[in-house]
A and B are shown apart, each in its own frame.
Chain A
């Protein structure tokens, strides 16, 4: 069995995001970049399945500028076997990403595609679903537990009411939640070995898919600053303020 796992390079979750003054986007120069956290979970789960013997090969893919290769190398360092870097210098919407992934799936013929449920930069939560639809494959989203069987995969997913267990036939698209597992650390020797693992490079333009963005971004701005709170002396004052000032009662 073979897994294709998609990883995205995003601004590290600890970094405080700075919006550009002209509202055209956010600053990324000299900002620490990392793997999108739920993608780390997707890689970890793929590698675990490989270690269990159920999966033979894990292929990590990232789409983006040259530095996306660092993100792929990290996946290789924790156990993926091969990398694919689809080079694209401009922002591509989830629809375009799904189209690219479909092309790669047709070529690599994996039994499952693993990816994070969403990316922490644009929070779209669309790529997995779109890819499944285009491939006409079953999809399992927000996965917090994976039980791989011979021709299907049993998935526990987090929904508003609690946990839902579903079983989907293979091949399938699985989008991963942060609770799925705790990603391991890459060890020094494995980081060095990862440098020698194969990495295929493909130009997004050469895949023959329409990557035109459908959404026009008008403006990026910071959320409004929260006003300082006040302390009230007693319940009566609180009620009076809620009623007369906040006008919520």
Chain B
């Protein structure tokens, strides 16, 4: 029997900054359009995690009077610092020597989750229907191969996939245009890129993992509006990454660490590097005596335009980081994601009203300020494959002298999962034991994320070959899933590979970094996953 279906003009998958922007803009352009958003989190914002220093450019275009609408954008950046860390030392880099893209004096320190909650309110006021707790789990196609819409996940299945008393069949949502805005490594976006060969002729996508904590500190330690970044220790010069430390309102500090997932050493644990980073003398003093109140992690896009896939296909668009619009040297993606959402809405209206081809979306995007800044940023990340020092020198020349206008484009040569070297060739890393005050273990961290998945449901982390982790990955790479997963979902216990999927915070790192691409992340039952507050 056919599933129940609902018809919309536009169905949007994912209530992040890009999806919400598209929805709002669509309704501004034509209030009669029917628009709905599916969101896998239990509420809008529950799965949003970002730094975030926010550039308002795209929001100014979307809602010019946001200041009068009580938008949660209050803390203006007042001071900036950049530190190079040695093991014990630190060197402050003068801010006038930073490339223009890294200057933030016009920007704001915000919680992106709260901004999304506010955007959702604006969207609902305009008549957009938002359904939190309903993951889109399947792309539907028309007979001619174009995207017809999506289906929501069947709910109420047990571990073996049998129907429980609460079983409820998923339903189909059909749309004239379906917009995919799942964020980095969206599990439907990934399928679409493959099916429509959207990445043909592009470099392999590059990713990072971002970990974040929110701390409450004393007044003396707090300097509202201060934005600080670091590079260097504890990472070696071959590993791309660094920290952010943003002093937000209410004596809170947003502290985070980003590590490129092209790291080579299978013994590296991004979570533990982040914990270790906090013990640096220059950093420790900022947090000592304070209290950690939140934790979370999420993969992010680092590939830039070299890896940006074709963003349209028959019946559907990829927007934001489901395509990959983050500006890596700027360490920002919200404004470009929102801009892609704005342009998507314009293209959709022209498509529905005047039968314009959806390819105008990509054309318009390539003519926008968002693409221009991504173009200027394109050579920074690949230059760091030469190591930290050469990367910095090159970036100085590229960004300060030439402002991103050098007449060539560096390539990303490998996908992140190909970067790992065999365990026996790499040094083991001994991480210090957490003290429970400044540094923590994974168990107490996942507790802060409010993560839960209904226990008796199918495992949402699928192994293509269930034998591979023990037979191959453990031998060759000492099963790095034990370390790259920031919340300890994967464990090797007595030659058995255990998946604690109920702890999964939906960061997607395993789906990206597993050396044989053996792990596939699929949607768990709606409402599962983290319940982030102001992340």
Contact with B along A152-196 (1 / 0, CB 8 A): 000000000000000000000000000000111101110110000
Report if A32 contacts B (CB, 8 A): yes
Stretch among A14-22, A139-147, A239-247 lining the B interface: A14-22
Q: Is the CB of A32 within 8 A of B171?
A: no
Given contacts A14-B451, A14-B452, A30-B113, contact A187 B165 (CB under 8 A): no
Given contacts A18-B293, A30-B534, contact A189 B4 (CB under 8 A): yes
Q: Is the CB of B531 within 8 A of A32?
A: yes
Report if B533 contacts A (CB, 8 A): yes
Given contacts A16-B450, A30-B45, contact A188 B152 (CB under 8 A): yes
By beta carbon, the residue of chain B nearest A182 is B166
By beta carbon, the residue of chain B nearest A21 is B216
Q: Which residues of B contact A30 (CB under 8 A)?
A: 45, 111, 113-114, 117, 533-534
The 8 Å CB contact of B155, one of A14, A21, A31, A185, is A185
Q: Is the CB of B43 within 8 A of A32?
A: yes
Chain B: interface secondary structure?
mixed
Q: Which residues of B contact A18 (CB under 8 A)?
A: 293
Contact with A along B519-535 (1 / 0, CB 8 A): 00000001000010110
The 8 Å CB contact of A12, one of B111, B129, B173, B531, is B531
Report if B42 contacts A (CB, 8 A): yes
The 8 Å CB contact of B166, one of A29, A184, A188, is A184
Q: Which residues of B contact A32 (CB under 8 A)?
A: 42-43, 46, 450, 531, 533
> In the assembled complex, how far is the CB of residue A220 from the closest CB belonging to chain B, in whole angstroms?
16
Contact with A along B200-241 (1 / 0, CB 8 A): 000000000000000010000000000000000000000000
Residue of A18, A34, A188, A189 contacting most chain B CB atoms (<10 Å) = A188
> In the assembled complex, how far is the CB of residue B451 from the closest CB belonging to chain A, in whole angstroms?
7
Q: Which residues of B contact A183 (CB under 8 A)?
A: 166
Contact with A along B278-290 (1 / 0, CB 8 A): 0000000000000
By beta carbon, the residue of chain B nearest A18 is B293
Given contacts A31-B533, A185-B155, contact A192 B129 (CB under 8 A): yes
Q: Which residues of A contact B155 (CB under 8 A)?
A: 185
Report if B168 contacts A (CB, 8 A): yes
By beta carbon, the residue of chain B nearest A44 is B166
> In the assembled complex, how far is the CB of residue B454 from the closest CB belonging to chain A, in whole angstroms?
10
The 8 Å CB contact of B168, one of A29, A34, A182, A185, is A185
> In the assembled complex, how far is the CB of residue A37 from the closest CB belonging to chain B, in whole angstroms?
12
Q: Is the CB of A16 within 8 A of B171?
A: no
Q: Is the CB of A184 within 8 A of B168?
A: yes
Report if B448 contacts A (CB, 8 A): yes
A185 to B457 alpha-carbon distance, docked (Å): 14
Contact with A along B422-459 (1 / 0, CB 8 A): 00000000000000000000000001101110000000
By beta carbon, the residue of chain A nearest B448 is A16
A18 to B173 alpha-carbon distance, docked (Å): 39
Q: Which residues of A contact B450 (CB under 8 A)?
A: 12, 14-16, 32
The 8 Å CB contact of B6, one of A15, A29, A189, is A189
By beta carbon, the residue of chain B nearest A191 is B131
Contact with B along A29-41 (1 / 0, CB 8 A): 1111010000000
> In the assembled complex, how far is the CB of residue B47 from the closest CB belonging to chain A, in whole angstroms?
11
> In the assembled complex, how far is the CB of residue A237 from the closest CB belonging to chain B, in whole angstroms?
24
The number of residue pairs between A and B whose CB atoms lie closer than 8 Å in the complex comes to: 56
Q: How large is the interface on A (under 10, 10 to 19, 20 to 34, 35 or more residues)?
A: 20 to 34
Report if B156 contacts A (CB, 8 A): yes
Interface residues of A in 179-229 (CB under 8 A from B): 182-185, 187-189, 191-192
Q: Which residues of B contact A14 (CB under 8 A)?
A: 450-452, 531
By beta carbon, the residue of chain B nearest A225 is B436
Q: Which residues of A contact B448 (CB under 8 A)?
A: 16
Report if B134 contacts A (CB, 8 A): yes
> In the assembled complex, how far is the CB of residue B171 from the closest CB belonging to chain A, in whole angstroms?
6
Contact with A along B127-155 (1 / 0, CB 8 A): 00101001000000000000000001001
Q: Which residues of B contact A29 (CB under 8 A)?
A: 534
Given contacts A12-B531, A14-B531, A32-B531, contact A182 B447 (CB under 8 A): no
Q: Is the CB of B46 within 8 A of A189?
A: no
Q: Which residues of A contact B526 (CB under 8 A)?
A: 185
> In the assembled complex, how far is the CB of residue B35 from the closest CB belonging to chain A, in whole angstroms?
13
By beta carbon, the residue of chain B nearest A70 is B43
Q: Which residues of A contact B168 (CB under 8 A)?
A: 184-185, 187
Q: Is the CB of B42 within 8 A of A12?
A: yes
Contact with A along B493-529 (1 / 0, CB 8 A): 0000000000000000000000000000000001000
The 8 Å CB contact of B131, one of A15, A16, A188, is A188
Q: Which residues of A contact B134 (CB under 8 A)?
A: 188
Q: Is the CB of B447 within 8 A of A16?
A: yes
By beta carbon, the residue of chain A nearest B447 is A16
Q: Is the CB of B533 within 8 A of A189?
A: no
By beta carbon, the residue of chain A nearest B295 is A16
A18 to B450 alpha-carbon distance, docked (Å): 12
Residue of B134, B216, B450, B526 contacting most chain A CB atoms (<10 Å) = B450
Q: Which residues of A contact B45 (CB under 8 A)?
A: 30
Q: Is the CB of B533 within 8 A of A188?
A: no
Q: Is the CB of B46 within 8 A of A185?
A: no
Q: Which residues of B contact A189 (CB under 8 A)?
A: 4, 6, 171
Q: Which residues of B contact A34 (CB under 8 A)?
A: 42
Interface residues of A in 124-140 (CB under 8 A from B): none
> In the assembled complex, how far is the CB of residue A147 from the closest CB belonging to chain B, in whole angstroms?
18
Q: Which residues of A contact B114 (CB under 8 A)?
A: 30
Q: Is the CB of B6 within 8 A of A188?
A: yes
> In the assembled complex, how far is the CB of residue A151 from the closest CB belonging to chain B, in whole angstroms?
29
> In the assembled complex, how far is the CB of residue B48 from the closest CB belonging to chain A, in whole angstroms?
11
Q: Which residues of B contact A192 (CB under 8 A)?
A: 129
Interface residues of B in 166-216 (CB under 8 A from A): 166, 168, 171, 173, 216
Q: Which residues of B contact A187 (CB under 8 A)?
A: 168, 171
Q: Is the CB of B113 within 8 A of A15?
A: no
A108 to B42 alpha-carbon distance, docked (Å): 33
A146 to B286 alpha-carbon distance, docked (Å): 58
A-B contact list, 30 entries, CB within 8 Å: A12-B42, A12-B450, A14-B450, A14-B451, A14-B452, A15-B450, A16-B447, A16-B450, A21-B216, A30-B45, A30-B111, A32-B42, A32-B450, A32-B531, A32-B533, A182-B164, A184-B166, A184-B168, A185-B155, A185-B166, A185-B168, A185-B526, A187-B171, A188-B6, A188-B131, A188-B134, A188-B171, A189-B4, A191-B131, A192-B129
Top 3 A-B pairs, shortest CB-CB distance: A14-B452, A14-B450, A32-B531
Which of A's residues lie within 8 Å of B, judged by CB?
Answer: 12, 14-16, 18, 21, 29-32, 34, 182-185, 187-189, 191-192
Which of B's residues lie within 8 Å of A, judged by CB?
Answer: 4, 6, 42-43, 45-46, 111, 113-114, 117, 129, 131, 134, 152, 155-156, 164-166, 168, 171, 173, 216, 293, 447-448, 450-452, 526, 531, 533-534
- Sample of 4 more A-B contacts, CB < 8 Å, known A30-B117, A184-B156, A185-B168: A14-B450, A15-B450, A185-B155, A192-B129
